[in-house]
């Protein structure tokens, strides 16, 4: 009896297994037959503001392919009324391939409709829907100002974007989202509106850049891993599987973007940080620009592209591990993958080689100290204009606060890169009609500045930058052009060389006959040639933010300013009265 009972139980178990297997085959067939089950697709909202996004989620009962990142595709398009459709890629958001997402970010108000198609293994599943778009209050995507193409503008509101940027390469290295939120909130309070953040990078510790105070510990790691690693603790040989993605890392990046967006802060996402370092670049020379690397760029565009506060940085210091041909290929590829046309550039060195490339929106430089300040950017601005395609010029890296990585480059020692020195360089760059990205000091334990994005009340450099932004946002700064030929003077009694080069003691930005901004590097007085008229004059202290009204100017030709109160830097603002 015992054997007969055991035999019946085995038969029962086998029938049960076969029944479930059959049901699985039927479910899989239904998933891929083109039959749409209502509960397989979920739409996040029926109504959103412009520059937000509607997310459509596809949930499958069973995995349909062995690798959903390479063998399955979710794609769609959406449009308003009879306008042209915008094609969008979706992405897999589960390791087993049961969850896919696609995001639609409308740029105009009104009724929108969409359709999506999922296909894998030669079969497909389709779905369509609608949503309404309100005007809302989002500022939108930052674009190049078409009327003043050396500057930027928010596409949603038309407000001009004063580029006040800082570096926070390893922000995603913090394990706790609360720390990332704290970093973003602090920077926003300091009027920073753009941060540079890396998606891929790994190193042992801060000694990589001669910064010994910032170490890996239980709260922070120098490991940014877009792909699953079989040996994540091995810095030099992580064993990446580049055919899949590390979803926890991408979800953390999304949460960071959402937090930044709540403060109208733009994030420049860097695809590769220091790619020449061992362990960082899983593609190498043989795989650069290949299908695996392109899958990474496409996935980022699909996942992050619906966030209005994104910019793309193809790579940091790309020439150390890539070449110009790669930049051209990947820039064009990313442009094709991004339906929203986020601003795109590439971080290199003291020259920018893609001034007329269709995929480039602004020129990005790395030139340290005074070598990358007024004269440098003024020349690059003029060189860009000569191409017939003006675009913004940005010194994206000009030496971080109190960072002295000798013997790299020139020998600089304290106080060569103190906060005040960095602030003065930033003023020079703005006076050249250009833009800059700074970086706070990384020599405070537990903080990290330009490395981690974290700071405290003792780190005050960005306060000076906030004052600079507040000064220019009082008027239409984007209408001003550099006019060094209009000014002379300044404190000629002081040395007028910086790093062995002659400097002009006074600089000028002007909208001729309407507004003049004069920057006196070392106090003294300045003479400026004016279009005849009566001008209101204010003196601004960039070190304190104090503004003092001076006697009005009634000039037919040239006006000479009063003597400045000291030999520090000062700013004069002249505005035509009764405009």
Q: Are 104 and 53 in contact (CB under 8 A)?
A: yes
Measured distance CA(132)–CA(446) in Å, rounded? 46
Evaluate the omega torsion of the peptide bond into residue 415 and state whether it is cis, within 30 degrees of 0. yes
The DSSP H or E segment spanning 189 is: helix 177-189
Do 532 and 557 touch, CB atoms closer than 8 A? yes
* 448 Rama class: left (phi>0) / alpha (psi -120 to 50) / beta: left
Residue the block writes with tokens 């009324």:
81
Check residue 39 and give its pLDDT: 66
Q: Would you say 453 and 171 are in contact if contact means Cβ atoms under 8 Å apart?
A: yes
CA distance 10 to 538: 94
Which residue intervals of 314-369 are DSSP H helices?
324-337
**Architecture of the domain delimited by 142-479:** Alpha-Beta Barrel (3.20)
Helical (H) or strand (E) element with 261:
helix 247-261
Q: What are phi and psi of 146, to 5 degrees?
A: -70, -30
Closest CA to 342 of 545, 192, 143, 121: 143
Task: Cis check for the bond before 407: say yes or no (omega within 30 of 0).
Answer: yes
Give CA 278 to chain center in angstroms: 25
Cα–Cα distance between 532 and 537 in angstroms, integer? Answer: 15
Residue entry with tokens 């003029």: 382
Q: What are phi and psi of 58, to 5 degrees?
A: -105, 120
DSSP letters for 372-409: GSHHHHHHHHHHHHHTT----EEEEES--TT---TTSS
- CB of 244 within 8 A of CB of 227? yes
Question: Residues 93, 111: contact at Cβ < 8 Å?
Answer: no
CB-based burial, 105-141: b 16+ in 10 Å, e otherwise: bbbeeeebebebbbbbeeeebebebebebeeeebbbb
Query: What is the distance in angstroms between the CA of the first residue and the CA of the last residue of the chain?
Result: 108
* Rounded Cα distance, 7 and 290, in Å: 56
Residue 465: CA count within 13 A, CB half-sphere: 31
Please report, in tens digits, the pLDDT of each residue of the chain (579 residues total).
444 545 544 445 444 334 433 334 334 444 444 444 546 999 999 999 999 999 999 999 999 999 999 999 999 999 987 777 899 999 999 999 999 999 999 999 999 999 999 999 888 999 999 999 999 989 999 999 999 999 999 999 999 999 999 999 999 999 999 999 999 999 999 999 999 999 999 999 999 999 999 999 999 999 999 999 999 999 999 999 999 999 999 999 999 999 999 999 999 999 999 999 999 999 999 999 999 999 999 999 999 999 999 999 999 999 999 999 999 999 999 999 999 999 999 998 999 999 999 999 999 999 999 999 999 999 999 999 999 999 999 999 999 999 999 988 889 999 999 999 999 999 999 999 999 999 999 999 999 999 999 999 999 999 999 999 999 999 999 999 999 999 997 654 444 444 544 556 899 999 999 999 999 999 999 999 999 999 999 999 999 999 999 999 998 889 999 999 999 999 999 999 975
The domain locations on the chain are 38-134, 142-479, 481-576
Helix (H) or strand (E) holding 259: helix 247-261
**Alpha-carbon distances of 368 from 365, 387, 422, 438, 498, rounded to whole Å:** 10, 25, 10, 11, 13
Residue in 61, 245, 34, 36 with CA at minimum distance from that of residue 119: 34
38-134 CATH, one of 2.60.40.10, 3.40.50.300, 3.20.20.150, 1.10.10.10:
2.60.40.10
The secondary element (H helix, E strand) that includes residue 80 is: strand 72-80
H helix or E strand, kind and range, residue 327 = helix 324-337
Pairwise CA distance, residues 572 & 550, whole Å: 9
User: At CA 499, angle to CA 383 and CA 404, rounded to 5?
Assistant: 105
Cβ atoms 40, 125 nearer than 8 A: yes
Please give the pLDDT value at position 19. Answer: 42
| Residue in 455, 96, 456, 142 with CA at minimum distance from that of residue 308 | 142
Distance CA 282, CA 422 (A): 36
**CATH number, domain 481-576:** 2.60.40
38-134 and 481-576: identical CATH topology: yes
Distance (Å, rounded) from C-alpha 344 to C-alpha 54? 24
Coil, strand or helix at 173: helix
Strands 393-397 and 435-438: parallel
Who contacts 429 (Cβ-Cβ below 8 Å, separation ≥6)? 372, 373, 374, 377, 395, 398, 435, 436
Whole-number Å distance between alpha carbons of 285 and 180: 34
Chain-centre distance for alpha carbon 399: 19
């Amino acid at each position: 009896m015992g054997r007969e009972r055991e035999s019946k139980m085995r038969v029962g178990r086998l029938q049960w297994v076969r029944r479930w297997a059959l049901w699985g085959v039927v479910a899989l067939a239904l998933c891929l037959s083109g039959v749409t089950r209502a509960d397989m697709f979920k739409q996040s909202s029926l109504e959103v503001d412009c520059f937000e996004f509607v997310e459509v989620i596809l949930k499958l009962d069973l995995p349909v392919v062995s690798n959903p990142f390479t063998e399955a595709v979710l794609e769609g398009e959406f449009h308003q009324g009879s306008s042209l459709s915008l094609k969008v890629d979706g992405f897999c958001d589960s390791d087993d391939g049961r969850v896919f997402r696609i995001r639609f970010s409308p740029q105009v108000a009104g009724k929108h409709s969409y359709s999506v198609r999922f296909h894998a293994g030669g079969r497909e599943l389709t779905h369509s829907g609608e949503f309404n778009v309100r005007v809302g209050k989002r500022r939108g995507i930052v674009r190049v100002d078409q009327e003043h193409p050396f500057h930027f503008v928010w596409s949603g509101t038309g407000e001009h974007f004063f580029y006040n940027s800082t570096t926070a390469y390893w922000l995603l290295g913090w394990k706790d989202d609360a720390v990332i939120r704290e970093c973003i909130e602090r920077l926003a309070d300091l009027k920073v509106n753009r941060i540079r953040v890396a998606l891929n990078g790994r190193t042992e510790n801060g000694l990589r850049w001669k910064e010994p105070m910032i170490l890996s510990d239980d709260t922070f790691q120098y490991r940014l891993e877009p792909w699953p690693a079989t040996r994540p603790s091995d810095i030099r040989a992580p064993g990446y599987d580049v055919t899949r993605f590390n979803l926890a890392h991408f979800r953390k990046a999304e949460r960071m973007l959402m937090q930044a967006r709540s403060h109208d802060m733009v994030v420049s996402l860097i695809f590769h940080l220091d790619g020449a370092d061992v362990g960082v670049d899983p593609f190498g020379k043989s795989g650069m620009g290949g299908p695996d690397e392109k899958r990474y760029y496409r996935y980022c565009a699909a996942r992050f592209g619906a966030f209005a506060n994104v910019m793309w940085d193809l790579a940091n210091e790309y020439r150390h591990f890539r070449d110009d041909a790669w930049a051209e290929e990947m820039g064009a590829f990313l442009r094709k993958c991004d339906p929203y046309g986020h601003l795109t550039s590439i971080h290199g060195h003291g020259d920018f080689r893609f001034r007329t490339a269709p995929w480039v929106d602004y020129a990005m430089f790395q030139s340290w100290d005074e070598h990358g300040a007024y004269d440098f950017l003024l020349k690059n601005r003029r060189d860009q204009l000569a191409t017939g395609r003006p675009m913004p010029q940005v010194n994206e890296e000009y030496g971080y606060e109190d960072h002295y990585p000798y013997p790299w480059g020139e020998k600089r020692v304290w106080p060569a890169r103190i906060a005040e020195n960095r602030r003065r360089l930033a003023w020079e760059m703005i006076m050249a009609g250009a833009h800059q990205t700074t970086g706070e000091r990384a020599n405070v334990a537990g903080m990290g500045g330009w490395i981690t994005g974290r700071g405290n009340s003792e780190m005050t450099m960005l306060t000076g930058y906030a004052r600079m932004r507040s000064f220019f946002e009082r008027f239409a700064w984007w209408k001003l052009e550099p006019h060094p030929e209009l000014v002379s003077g300044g404190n000629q009694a002081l040395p007028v060389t910086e790093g062995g080069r002659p400097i002009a003691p006074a600089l000028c930005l002007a909208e001729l006959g309407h507004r003049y901004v004069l920057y006196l590097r070392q106090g003294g007085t300045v003479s400026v040639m004016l279009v005849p008229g009566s001008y209101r004059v204010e003196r601004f202290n960039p070190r304190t933010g104090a503004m003092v009204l001076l006697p009005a100017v009634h000039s037919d030709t040239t006006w000479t300013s009063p003597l400045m109160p000291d030999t520090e830097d000062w700013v004069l603002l002249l505005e035509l009265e009764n405009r």
